Amino acid sequence: MELSVKLNEGVASWDTVIFLYNSALKEVGTKLEILNDEFCHVHRYNPIEYIKSRIKTPESIVKKLKRNGYESTIDNMVKHVNDIAGIRVVCSFTSDIYRLAEMIGKQNDLTVVSVKDYIKNPKDSGYKSYHMMVTVPIFLTDGVVDTKVEIQIRTIAMDFWASLEHKIYYKFEGNAPEYISRDLQECAEIVSKLDAKMLSLNEAILRAREQEENLKGQMFGG
């Protein structure tokens, strides 16, 4: 069932939309926590550091609609704003991002609508993150409504950079001085080098641990 089919203009429809998006956040958030717990159970390792969720404010929704040339209606909001319900998943390493994205894609009751890989293809500003737009079925008393949720997956370093960029964007309303934009891009390069170095270090630690366990096995197994 299309989300817009259930809606009429007015306060009640707005409340219905927000209820559905909040329900979708709960569904996807629970799935991510279960995936993290299962991964920890099987591999003794947590790929997820923390999860944050939010519903876009009415002001932000209206601004986005106007920016893209749409009237501020409930129907346009549902059809054309894909990040009303958003979940940010923060991982330790870049390898965790792709591992987690693969796990999400295999969920039978989630539909991956689109993927934007800003890690392999960063934005001009230096922004890096992995975006998945999914739909999740919300079961109501009179039917099922597929509801959109945007999932952003990034490392701790990427998240720190993105938070700073977000503050700068709103401070200068998207028109930051050139020197600030340049410094921000330089910071993005530093973040990329840090992520690569931390991943390399983690892989070295894992190899050393494996060698140590193999050595113990040879000593006590023979």
- The pLDDT tens digits of the residues spanning 152-196 come to 999 999 999 999 998 888 788 778 899 999 999 999 999 999 999
Count structural domains, the chain. Answer: 1
Does residue 134 lie in a domain region? yes
Domain with residue 41: its CATH number is 3.30.460.10
1/123: higher pLDDT: 123
- What integer pLDDT is reported at residue 10 of this predicted model? 44
- What integer pLDDT is reported at residue 7 of this predicted model? 43
Mean pLDDT (the chain, rounded): 89
Does residue 187 lie in a domain region? no
Does an H or E element contain 48, and which? strand 48-55
- What integer pLDDT is reported at residue 12 of this predicted model? 54
DSSP for residue 3: G
The one catalytic residue among 150, 165, 173, 186: 150
Structural tokens at position 104: 């999400």
Does residue 206 lie in a domain region? no
Task: State mean pLDDT over 114-134.
Answer: 96
Does residue 157 lie in a domain region? yes
Active-site annotation holds for 150: yes
218/48: higher pLDDT: 48
d(CA 83, CA 78): 10
Pair 47, 91: CB distance under 8 Å:
yes
- What integer pLDDT is reported at residue 5 of this predicted model? 39
- What integer pLDDT is reported at residue 15 of this predicted model? 87
Does residue 177 lie in a domain region? no
* Least trusted range by pLDDT, from 4-8, 22-26, 49-53: 4-8
| pLDDT confidence bin for 142, thresholds 50/70/90 | confident
For Cα atoms 152, 63, 145, give the angle at the middle one, nearest 5 degrees: 55
Does residue 180 lie in a domain region? no
d(CA 211, CA 102): 28
| pLDDT confidence bin for 6, thresholds 50/70/90 | very low
Please give the biggest Cα pair distance in the chain: 76
d(CA 202, CA 117): 23
Does residue 182 lie in a domain region? no
Distances (CA, A) of 10 to 14, 74, 206: 7, 8, 56
Residue partners of 57: CB distance under 8 A and separation at least 6: none
Tokens 């070295």 sit at which residue?
Answer: 204
Structural tokens at position 27: 């569904």
* Least trusted range by pLDDT, from 3-17, 41-55, 57-71: 3-17
pLDDT at 31 over 90: yes
- What integer pLDDT is reported at residue 88 of this predicted model? 97
Pair 188, 122: CB distance under 8 Å:
yes
Strand order in the sheet with 111-117: 48-55, 85-91, 143-155, 130-140, 111-117
46/160: higher pLDDT: 160
Does residue 139 lie in a domain region? yes
Q: Could you tell me the residue range of the domain that residue 120 belongs to?
A: 3-161
